[in-house]
């Protein structure tokens, strides 16, 4: 056995090859499952016990030398062998630099999660929309100022095709296809023609909520929003609703939460008022139900919409909205722990 190993070692030392194919056949000849060295190793069990140690060491030496030799030969041809994919199985797996989730994704997922627990399912719609889904089906009058060139981005040459200005368009997309009960949460990007500054951007993100069923009341809306606020900002969070106006809800309201920084005492973030505005909401206007094929004498609904950047700002006190879209890795890295 020792003789055989010695001879094979000499053979291995003398190996030569002219190209990658020859190297591969040498590898198969010596090192594959049925290769010469592998079968030598299989014979190992017949070696008398007192020789096992020495023979074992020699076989290992032979095998390692053969591997080395094949790699040496490969190196000679390696670089111009484009077909061969060399995988370095000796490379350690860690540490691998991991990316971090974007703060807006973190907050979006948190919002979806809270409403999912309340039975809301996810719905999405297109960002490039038509006037019908964004405005007309949402009960906007023909001359409503929100349709104005100041706010809406139009797709050139198609005055009817626009970038959606709110996720309320997804309400219409879902209702036109689905009869109640409808209970959905719709996250997505929206666009408005505004000058970019620390406090405004030409695109941002919203989450829309819609619930349509028999016997839906304003109390249900208020209770769901209170639960959301407490899940999102902490158990001691208070809410207040102020009357407001949206074409697609009646009555409409804006909701404030007690300041997340000073807990309602008054500070610079809440400008001394103790309250922060976070969303718009209301009972779905009967016209909206009818325009989207739902019988308004039988069904009622509530809807709400909030800006994800706004919620993220309150959670993380990001001073400049532009940080969210600049993708500065130093900023993004700060949210590593929140992943």
Distance CA 109, CA 100 (A): 14
- Binding range to ligand PHE, per CB under 6 A, among 44-52, 115-123, 279-287, 328-336: 279-287
169 belongs to the binding site for ligand PHE (CB under 6 A)? no
249 belongs to the binding site for ligand PHE (CB under 6 A)? yes
Distance CA 298, CA 25 (A): 79
Q: How far is the CB of 304 from ligand PHE (least distance, A)?
A: 5
- Residue pointed to by tokens 């030398």: 65
Q: How far is the CB of 281 from ligand PHE (least distance, A)?
A: 5
Distance CA 125, CA 119 (A): 20
Distance CA 218, CA 215 (A): 10
CA 313 to chain CA centroid, Å, is 19
Q: Which is nearer to ligand PHE, 175 or 303 (CB)?
A: 303
- Binding range to ligand PHE, per CB under 6 A, among 51-59, 180-188, 212-220, 298-306: 298-306
Which residue in the set 259, 282, 289, 335 belongs to the binding site for ligand PHE (CB under 6 A)?
Answer: 282
168 belongs to the binding site for ligand PHE (CB under 6 A)? yes
303 belongs to the binding site for ligand PHE (CB under 6 A)? yes
225 belongs to the binding site for ligand PHE (CB under 6 A)? no
Which residue in the set 133, 305, 324, 335 belongs to the binding site for ligand PHE (CB under 6 A)?
Answer: 305
Distance CA 27, CA 222 (A): 73
Q: Tokens in use for 51?
A: 């020789």
Which residue in the set 276, 280, 285, 310 belongs to the binding site for ligand PHE (CB under 6 A)?
Answer: 280
Ramachandran angles phi, psi of 162, nearest 5°: -135, 170
Angle in degrees, CA 312, 318, 320, rounded to 5 = 115
Residues that bind ligand PHE in the complex, under the rule CB under 6 A: 166, 168, 208, 246, 249, 280-282, 303-305
């Amino acid at each position: 056995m020792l003789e055989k190993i010695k001879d094979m070692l000499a053979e291995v030392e003398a190996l030569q090859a002219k190209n990658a194919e020859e190297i591969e056949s040498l590898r198969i000849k010596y090192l594959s499952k049925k290769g010469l060295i592998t079968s030598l190793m299989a014979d190992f069990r017949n070696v008398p016990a007192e020789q096992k140690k020495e023979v074992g060491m020699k076989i290992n030496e032979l095998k390692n030398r053969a591997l080395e030799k094949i790699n040496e030969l490969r190196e000679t041809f390696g670089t111009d062998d484009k077909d061969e994919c060399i995988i370095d199985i000796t490379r350690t797996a860690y540490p691998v630099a991991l990316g971090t989730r974007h703060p807006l994704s973190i907050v979006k997922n948190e919002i979806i999660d809270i409403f999912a627990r309340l039975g809301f399912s996810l719905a999405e719609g297109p960002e490039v929309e038509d006037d019908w889904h964004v405005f007309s089906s949402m009960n906007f009058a023909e001359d409503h100022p929100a349709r104005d060139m100041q706010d809406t981005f139009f797709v050139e040459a198609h005055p009817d095709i626009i970038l959606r200005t709110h996720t309320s368009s997804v309400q219409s997309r879902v209702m036109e296809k689905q009869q109640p009960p409808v209970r959905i949460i719709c996250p997505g990007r929206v666009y408005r023609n505004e000058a970019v500054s620390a406090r405004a951007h030409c695109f941002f993100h919203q989450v829309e909520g819609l619930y349509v069923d028999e016997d839906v009341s304003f109390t249900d809306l208020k209770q769901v929003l209170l639960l959301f606020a407490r899940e999102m900002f902490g158990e001691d969070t208070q809410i207040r609703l102020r009357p407001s106006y949206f074409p697609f809800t009646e009555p409409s309201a804006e909701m404030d939460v007690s300041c997340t920084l000073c807990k309602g005492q008054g500070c610079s973030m809440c400008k001394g008022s103790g309250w922060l505005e976070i969303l718009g909401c209301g009972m779905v206007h009967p016209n909206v139900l009818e325009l989207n094929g739902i019988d308004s004498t039988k069904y009622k609904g509530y809807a709400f919409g909030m800006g994800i950047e706004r919620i993220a700002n309150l959670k993380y006190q990001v001073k400049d909205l532009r940080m969210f879209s600049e993708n500065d890795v130093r900023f993004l890295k700060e949210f590593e722990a929140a992943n």
